[in-house]
Amino acid sequence: MQRRNLMKALALAAGMAAAAGTTAAFAQTALRVFSGGANQRPDLMRKLFDQYQAANPGVKIEIETGGATSELQRQYLSTVLNAKDSAIDIYMIDIVNPAQYFGAGWLEPLNAYVGNPADAMKPYLPVYLQSNVVDGKVAAMPGFADAMFMYYRKDLLDKYKIAEPKTWDELAAASKKIQAGEGNPNLQGLSIQGAPIEGAVCTFLLPYWSQGKEFNDASGKLTLDKAAAVKGLNQWLAMVDSGVIKRNVAEVKTPDTVNEFKAGQVVFAINWGFAWDRFQVDNDSTVKGKVGVMPLPAMAGGKSATCVGGWQWAVSAFSKNKAEAAKLVKFMSTPAASKFLAVEGSLLPVYQSVYTDPDVVKAVPWFKDASNVVIAGKSRPLSKDYGQVSDVVRTTTSAVLARTKKPDDGVGEIQSRLARVMR
């Protein structure tokens, strides 16, 4: 019943999108969509596209996928868009990319199709007004949200009568108690991403933000507090030295954390929202029914903060089917589409109301509490030169965690290099 009602809602949304244009406008229109990598669930996007095609028989939608990580996708898309390639009409892009791509002239402004920015973004989570509107233009529309959560072994915390830790020091103490009690030399206390990937940008920002510090101001100018940044990196290194985080943390990527947590080798793990499905659904998961989700801890005296992610739909400035592409983007950004992705793939909704939808809560119970974490989360720096920002932060963070750079030197390098980029 739940699935049938959801498909009816999607069909209605697709039909409304069809009614917004004429049949002639859709006649013999082929749209090609870059739909990200496996974590962006192109299989579920295909089902949504099929719904749209059924309601718009003159439209044929083809999917292109690629890039296992955000940075690999950014490298590919930067090459394609810089070449002004018209082969792809619609792109799924990371939340940090609209400012960069729109600033380069690669994206079609959507105001003419969705209305003025304030009205267009009003139904969505607040972060999208900031990330998807560039220079007064709607650069992209929200597809699904994401954020970093702290997953933990609920069974182990219950076994040792440990409450959810509120600070990183409390988490370290809890981890050491459980590790000692279990006597398993392969059990990690905390898994974070220290390889020079996009996740390492968040690894740098999480302890920094939780001291109440901001990386940049509203205009995008760098406001880095060096002492706080050094303190955050030293927090991670102290946890490595105490055996809470494993020593080769500078090699850990997002899938590594997921796979090791699934295998029962981690007590606490920081990862994106998609990981929940991997823990609960994958056949090789040894932790099904044993996983809790909590807000990220803070530095002592600080406040929990998390990295908000998410994926947007954008129309290429070089598309030959801009109007038709914009109508598909509008459909992919509807509440019905957001609900479908939540129920079928545990992908975080872009509408606050969808988090408490009865069907969504039944399918993914922890979503009822997730909206508060997402709403209070912070976006990585929004910059037209985000590629440079990301590269500097993630590679330096990885080098510090590998102990090839000292925290003070690493933060100094970030500060000096980005002061020129983020003016």
> How do residues 252-268 score in pLDDT, each as one tens digit?
999 999 999 999 999 99
Which residues face 378 on adjacent strands?
A: 307
Least confident of 7-21, 31-45, 159-173: 7-21
Average pLDDT over residues 198-221: 93
Location of structure tokens 């947007």 = 312
Cβ neighbors of 91 (< 8 A, separation 6 or more) are 33, 34, 77, 81, 101, 107, 313, 314, 315, 316
Please state the pTM of the whole predicted model: 0.83
| Those residues with Cβ within 8 angstroms of residue 296's Cβ, 6 or more apart along the chain or in another chain | 148, 149, 150, 206, 210, 270, 304, 305, 306
Position with higher pLDDT, 28 vs 11: 28
Q: Alpha-carbon distance 295 to 149, whole Å?
A: 6
**Which of 375, 394, 410 delimits the end of a domain?**
375
Burial, 138: exposed, middle or buried (Cβ in 10 Å; 0-12, 13-18, 19+)? buried
> Do residues 254 and 154 share a domain?
yes
Query: What pLDDT score does 25 carry?
Result: 45
Residues 107, 11 within the same domain: yes
In a shared domain, residues 119 and 178: no
pLDDT at 69: 79
Q: Tell me how many domains the chain contains.
A: 2
d(Cα 402, Cα 396) in Å, to the nearest integer?
A: 10
Average pLDDT over residues 137-164: 97
Q: What residues make up the domain containing 109?
A: 2-139+309-375
Rounded to whole angstroms, the Cα distance separating 346 from 366 reads 10
Verify that 43 and 183 share a domain, yes or no: no
Rounded alpha-carbon distances, angstroms, from residue 317 to 107, 321, 383: 4, 10, 19
pLDDT of residue 24: 43
Q: Which CATH number characterizes residue 260's domain? A: 3.40.190.10
- The residue among 343, 360, 375 that closes a domain is 375
Domain check: are 254 and 337 in the same one?
no
The DSSP H or E segment spanning 200 is helix 199-209
Q: Give dist(CA 97, CA 319) in Å, integer.
A: 18
Q: Do 188 and 165 belong together in one domain? A: yes
pLDDT at 12: 61
Which of the four pLDDT bands, split at 50, 70 and 90, describes residue 274? confident
Answer yes or no: is pLDDT of 18 > 60: no
76 and 182 in one domain? no
The pLDDT-based confidence of 16 (bands split at 50, 70, 90) is low
Mean pLDDT of 328-346: 96
Give pLDDT tens digits for 55-77: 999 999 999 999 887 878 888 99
Q: DSSP letters along 267-312, please?
A: EEEEEETTHHHHHHH-TT-S-TT-EEEEPPPB-TTS----EEEEEE
Please tell me whether residues 109 and 123 are part of one structural domain: yes
- Judgement on whether residues 160 and 68 belong to the same structural domain of the protein: no
Please provide the distance, in angstroms rounded to a whole number, between the alpha carbons at the two ends of the chain.
Answer: 54
| Cα 370 from Cα 308, distance rounded (Å) | 12
Do 286 and 342 lie in a common domain? no
pLDDT tens by residue, 100-142: 899 999 999 999 999 999 999 999 998 898 889 999 999 999 9
Percent of the chain with pLDDT over 70: 94
31 and 110, same domain (yes or no):
yes
> Has residue 5 got a pLDDT over 70?
no
Cβ–Cβ < 8 Å for 339, 359 = yes
Same domain for 131 and 241, yes or no, is: no
Long-range contacts of the stretch 278-281 (C-beta < 8 A, 24+): 279/151
